[in-house]
Structure 1
Amino acid sequence: MSAPLRLVIFDVDGTLVDSQGDIVAAMARAFAAVDLAPPPRDEVLGIVGLSLDVAMPTLRPDLSAAAHARMAQAYKDAYMQLRADAGVVQSSPLYPGAMQTLQALYALPEVLLGVATGKSRRGLDKLIEGHGLEGYFVTQQVADFHPSKPHPSMILQAMADTGVTPSETVMIGDTSYDMEMAAAAGVQGIGVSWGYHPRERLGQASRIVEDYADLRAALDQIWSVSA
């Protein structure tokens, strides 16, 4: 009897790639656009995963919608420039073991790979191209077409795209928003310890892994229960 079709959805920033340097630098320019000093680094990393239209009001709820829009545009412009200057591989390097894990999962005929990210379509396309990941992700959910995490829209659409059931779907991410999104969509969430939110914020994760080498075993445990 063949294994059921399974879907593994990855967050991007803080899960697949470490882009914190560009994120912090771009946020500094976003705040400069409205003549303000940027918040501390940990506060900036704390909103990674949110769409920009939610992230800016989260950081500065006292500012106007027009100011938030200027900040979001300045952030986008700065991030694009930083990435162009350094190149994708340097500005957003893959975490150790990420590529090997993607390759191993991609090789499994019953496993489909997806992405659910607060990045824009353009940003995700550049990252996939820069790392040679074309063809790996059969479903790609981005901020352009969905409410911000932790709304479950991205995961629900990924499951609709692939025809995979919630019991066979797993969301992998580094933030509370990823784990809350997974719970809201009725799927299992695996938290990763190497990202931008501390472990104590990953309370809704069904499991937390310390290294990419541990991920396959965590997936196998989840799938053995659902089988």
Structure 2
Amino acid sequence: MTRLAVFDCDGTLVDSQVNIIRAMTESFARVGVAAPDPHRIRQVVGLSLFETMATLLPDAEVDLQTRLADEYRNAYHRLRAEGSLVVEPLYPGIRDGLVELADRGWLLGVATGKSDRGLALILAHHDIAHHFVTLQTADRHPSKPHPAMLELAMAQAGAEPADTVMIGDTSFDMLMGIAAGARAIGVDWGYHAPDELTAAGAETVVGDMPALLALLA
């Protein structure tokens, strides 16, 4: 039996809200539209960029939503080049938790709304890329909660849905896990409240990495 644990990235492995809100604010300013408040921005973290903009501005023309997605990419790359982005720290216990799961025989993966480049950079920065056997990003899949990311992760790892768990901080992660037939476990240290995760179908919501490790024992 192959056991696979797939983690979301933003809000689950790393706390990236400062950089996301900064780039989002700049992208909206570039098109002359008032940026949403930070809480609203945190609520859409995990969606693909176009889906993010369509959710934030549902009544806007598609051209504007597309332009905002492009402006966000440009703003993020520009802020990175300028050295203006802050380090996206790992949440407490993540590094040791990944090692322990791997030692127990779990295969590990990531399914994220980040780009390939963005994910590669953050995993390399924290020197944790070697823990993961499958990396799925918004560059190659429909936006969460579509199950495509998780389905390909399972195919690459050789894992069945019944032996796979999706771990994330948003309702999008929970819905994706359920749509793929996997277990869905929420974490309460990210960007959606525990009751939102439960409403989306989370099996349970854990408060720290030791609790997650106990659940996956």
Residue 177 (structure 1) aligned to one of 172, 180, 201: 172
Residue 67 (structure 1) aligned to one of 64, 67, 71: 64
CA distance in 2, matches of 1:5, 1:216: 17
Matched residue, 1:191: 186
Shift of 1:62: 1.9
Structure 1 runs of 4+ with >6 Å offset: none
Matched residue, 2:203: 206
CA distance in 1, matches of 2:125, 2:112: 17
Matched residue, 1:17: 14
Shift of 1:106: 2.0
Matches within 5 A, 1:19-168: 19-84=16-81, 85-86=83-84, 90-108=86-104, 110-168=105-163
Whether the 8 Å CA contact 1:46–1:197 is kept in 2: the answer is: yes
Q: 1:75 to 1:122 in 2, by over 3 A?
A: same
CA distance in 1, matches of 2:63, 2:87: 29
CA distance in 2, matches of 1:44, 1:91: 19
**Structure 2 counterpart of 1:122, one-letter code:** R
- Residue 138 of structure 1 aligns to a residue in which SS? strand
Shift of 1:91: 2.5
CA distance in 2, matches of 1:10, 1:142: 12
TM-score (normalizing by structure 1): 0.91
Number of residues paired by the alignment? 214
Shift of 1:80: 2.7
CA distance in 1, matches of 2:80, 2:89: 11
| Structure 2: unaligned runs, 5 residues or longer | none
Matched residue, 1:224: none
- Residue 109 of structure 2 aligns to a residue in which SS? strand
| Structure 1: unaligned runs, 5 residues or longer | 221-227
User: What percentage of aligned pairs have identical amino acids?
Assistant: 49
CA distance in 2, matches of 1:25, 1:86: 10
Matched residue, 1:223: none
Q: Which has the higher mean CA deviation after the structures are superposed, 75-84 or 46-55? A: 75-84
Q: Pairwise CA RMSD of aligned residues?
A: 1.2
CA distance in 1, matches of 2:37, 2:154: 37
**Structure 1 counterpart of 2:19, one-letter code:** D
Whether the 8 Å CA contact 1:15–1:95 is kept in 2: the answer is: yes
Q: Which has the higher mean CA deviation after the structures are superposed, 72-81 or 146-155? A: 72-81
TM-score (normalizing by structure 2): 0.95
**Structure 1 counterpart of 2:97, one-letter code:** T
